[in-house]
Amino acid sequence: MNLKKYLLPVAIMALTACSQTDDTERRIDRLISQMTLAEKIGQMNQLTYGDEEWLAEQIRNGVSGSILNIPDAATVNRLQKVAVEESRLGIPLIVSRDVIHGFHTIFPIPLGQAASFDPAIVEQGARVAAIEASACGIRWTFSPMLDISRDPRWGRIAESFGEDPYLTSQLGVAMVEGYQGDDTSDPSTMAACAKHFIGYGAAEGGRDYNGTTITERLMHNVYMPPFKACVDAGALTIMTSFNENDGVPSTGNRHLLRDILRQQWGFDGMVVSDWNSTGEMIAHGFAADLKEAAAQAVNAGVDMDMMSHAFISQLEELIDEGKVDMETVDNAVRNILRLKFRLGLFENPYVDETYAAEIQYAPEHLAAAKRAAEESAILLKNDGTLPLKGVRTILVTGPMADAQHDQLGTWCFDGEPEHTVTPLAALRKLYGDKVRIIYEPGLGYSRDNDRSKLGRVTALARTADAVVVFAGEEAILSGEAHSLSNLDLQGAQSELLRAAKAAGKPVVAVIMAGRPLTIGGDLDACNAMLYSFHPGTMGGEALAELLFGDAVPSGKCPVTFLKEVGQAPYYYNRNNTGRPASGNEMLIDQIPLRAGQTSLGCSSYYLDTGFGPLFPFGYGLSYTTFEYGDVKLDSNEYTPDQTIKVTFTLSNTGKYDAVEVAQLYIRDVAGSIARPIRELKRFERIALKAGESRTCTFELPVSELAFMGLDKRVKVEPGDFKLWVCGDSVSGEAVDFKVI
């Protein structure tokens, strides 16, 4: 092989990239040298859209480097023109918005996308969002949210990828790559923002904004990996979190923002505070006033202040007093300008005002959204009722059957309900010529307690061959500041299910929600249950095709489903207790009256809810069945620099072509600190035809078994390990191996 032939172009590309980087840094330095202190601080100030005349004056005077929530391309261009053509130095704005799971074409909420276990569909969803949003001039999104979410009471679990660090890492990287593309200067890209740094999802009691108590080892082993993965993938920005951990708010945490993010991880992007999280350090009791809060945030490593007005009002005086160094301000401005150069805003500050109308809801965007909704639906129960075959009449009922707004889910500011394809509309369109569809909602909305139509639901159900009940929760019941202490179906929805079941006909429950609800008591009232975290614009078509078997469910639980909310927080990758339950202990209804005081077995469980969750992480049924066999390793001993090669046979033993999400888990049997009972390390969607068997392979570098141990060093520890290849986090036969 002629190595020169291959190495020379690579070397030229590397030199070109270095030259471009050097040129950008020189341009940044030149700009900074020309800026007044007021202009520097202005770049560090982010404002939200409002009085346009007032905003234009602020931009003209160099008082803001970024604007949130500008509504359309024409407005972006007007304000951008002020920045580029009317301000002294012509530095363009960066326009930002919360584009979380789609812009106009809305994909399933992130928790739903996580249920697909499909990085490709997550990347595609982010790409669609970037294309649609950038056409309106939005070049920066506050996504992906990487908070590990182990408590379903927390409303923002809807925006997360669930409870597992590895799954969150893989899907977070996919989302970053979808937003940013191969070239961030391409006008159709957006800067990703990995948030919330860090620990926000562990808010005490699941109450939003609450403090956390995450130890250093737990932080490094569970909460940091997704952020590190996205930094390595080139995420351009990071957002600090609202919470304080161990008494220190993230926005004022120098150790996190400088020692770890900048020095250890080498992050050279931009750090932004969350909305007023700088000012909220006063309420935390970490700062006495806004001036002290500004000093703490900028000295910790925050580059841009979102909507607390702390930097713009306090930094000049803090510099005069020597409490903030000019070098600190210059470095912050450098990071902001670097972001704008990387996005190509200096070369292409304006947007084509006609293009947005052409690109929204493009057929390929809707097709991708439908596929995402299909892949994210989880079949939790099925006695053979699904798919619906041979039915002539179905009753469609429930408050979520035709809920255009609520189907979109939380935090989608630009979703347009009139474009939502609901299940009722899709069933009528796709199957209305083959099946008689009766519609009686029974309840007007998810919290509706009006039971007056439940009798009519029962009567109509008697005339049908099957009943499909679309239940769940309205979009407003999940998301930021929407924590719940009761996770049962709201209103009279459980009674609606029982009213449908009273007719004696097969009942299918389809749940659309922003979190894993405690639906254990509702399972007996249905023959089959599909769970669809708010599925977005095309959710109706996806669900309709799943119900009739034109698509086959393949989603898996990205979080543990609880029997009762009192189990929270409950997650699969927990450490074992010294007294784990055997499953044979006495439960509350078995305790005899006037029993003598006893510990009933001295093990860890609830007397009333018993053992384990309702559904474990990774669980999900199909219309077919799968069998795993012949799990083999290429060795029984490995060194830290080797790779474990795992082969196994996966067989589709049923009658439907389908996809199985094969999952690989490991356990470090004994470490310098207690290790989780299982940890997900690999997964893959594998399509098999009915009756097909295939030999499959996973490769796992031993280096990925590293963790922060007792000595606070991250390394692979020698010892015994167990490995499973299976369809969820509790099944499978263990295979043993050693690391030497």
Helix (H, G, I), strand (E, B) or coil at 723: strand
pLDDT digits (tens, 9 = 90+) for 653-701: 999 999 999 999 999 999 999 999 999 999 999 999 999 999 999 999 9
Contact by Cβ (8 Å): 721, 738: yes
Residue 67 tokens, joined? 């604007």
* Residue-level pLDDT at 1: 44
pLDDT category at 5 given cuts 50, 70, 90 is low
- Indicate whether 486 belongs to any domain: no
- Indicate whether 656 belongs to any domain: yes
DSSP-assigned beta bridge partners for residue 632: 647
* Residue-level pLDDT at 8: 56
Q: Which residues contact 498 (CB under 8 A, 6 or more apart)?
A: 525
Average of per-residue pLDDT across 450-469: 98
Dist. CA 317–CA 533, nearest whole Å: 49
User: CA–CA distance from 381 to each of 290, 371, 511, 546, 677 (Å)?
Assistant: 54, 22, 12, 14, 26
Dist. CA 302–CA 237, nearest whole Å: 11
Nearest to 70 by CA among 59, 61, 84: 59
pLDDT digits (tens, 9 = 90+) for 496-526: 999 999 999 999 999 999 999 999 999 999 9
Q: Write out the residue range of the structural domain in which residue 634 sits.
A: 626-739
Neighbours of 394 (CB within 10 A): 25
* Residue-level pLDDT at 22: 86
* Residue-level pLDDT at 103: 98
| Residue 586 vs residue 709, higher pLDDT | 709
- Indicate whether 383 belongs to any domain: no
- Indicate whether 566 belongs to any domain: no
Residue 665 tokens, joined? 């888990």
Q: Which residues contact 84 (CB under 8 A, 6 or more apart)?
A: 90, 91, 92, 349
Q: Which residues contact 266 (CB under 8 A, 6 or more apart)?
A: 231
Q: Residue 2: pLDDT above 60?
A: no
Q: Residue 490: pLDDT above 70?
A: yes
Contact by Cβ (8 Å): 345, 94: yes
Dist. CA 102–CA 132, nearest whole Å: 8
Out of 151, 208, 274, 728, the active site residue is 274
Residue 72 tokens, joined? 């359309």
pLDDT digits (tens, 9 = 90+) for 237-296: 999 999 999 999 999 999 999 999 999 999 999 999 999 999 999 999 999 999 999 999
Q: Residue 32: pLDDT above 50?
A: yes
Nearest to 332 by CA among 425, 287, 270: 270
Q: Residue 14: pLDDT above 80?
A: no
Contact by Cβ (8 Å): 636, 684: no
**Residue 656: which CATH number?**
2.60.40.10
Helix (H, G, I), strand (E, B) or coil at 380: strand
- Counting the structural domains of the chain, the total is 1
User: CA–CA distance from 278 to each of 227, 262, 301, 468 (Å)?
Assistant: 21, 20, 12, 48
pLDDT category at 18 given cuts 50, 70, 90 is low
Q: Where are the alpha helices (DSSP H) in 306-450?
A: 310-320, 326-342, 355-359, 363-376, 404-407, 423-431
Q: Residue 107: pLDDT above 60?
A: yes
Average of per-residue pLDDT across 9-27: 70
- Indicate whether 655 belongs to any domain: yes
Q: Which amino acid is at 726?
A: C
Nearest to 68 by CA among 143, 126, 159, 138: 138
- Indicate whether 244 belongs to any domain: no
- Is 274 among the residues known to form the active site? yes
- Indicate whether 705 belongs to any domain: yes
Q: Which residues contact 641 (CB under 8 A, 6 or more apart)?
A: 702, 703
Contact by Cβ (8 Å): 74, 353: yes
* Residue-level pLDDT at 56: 97
The rounded mean pLDDT for the chain is 96
Dist. CA 363–CA 384, nearest whole Å: 34
562: DSSP letter: P
Find tokens 């159709």 and name the residue.
188
Nearest to 128 by CA among 146, 101, 108: 101
- Indicate whether 695 belongs to any domain: yes
Nearest to 106 by CA among 350, 422, 348: 422
Contact by Cβ (8 Å): 200, 147: yes
Q: Residue 3: pLDDT above 50?
A: no
Contact by Cβ (8 Å): 83, 91: yes
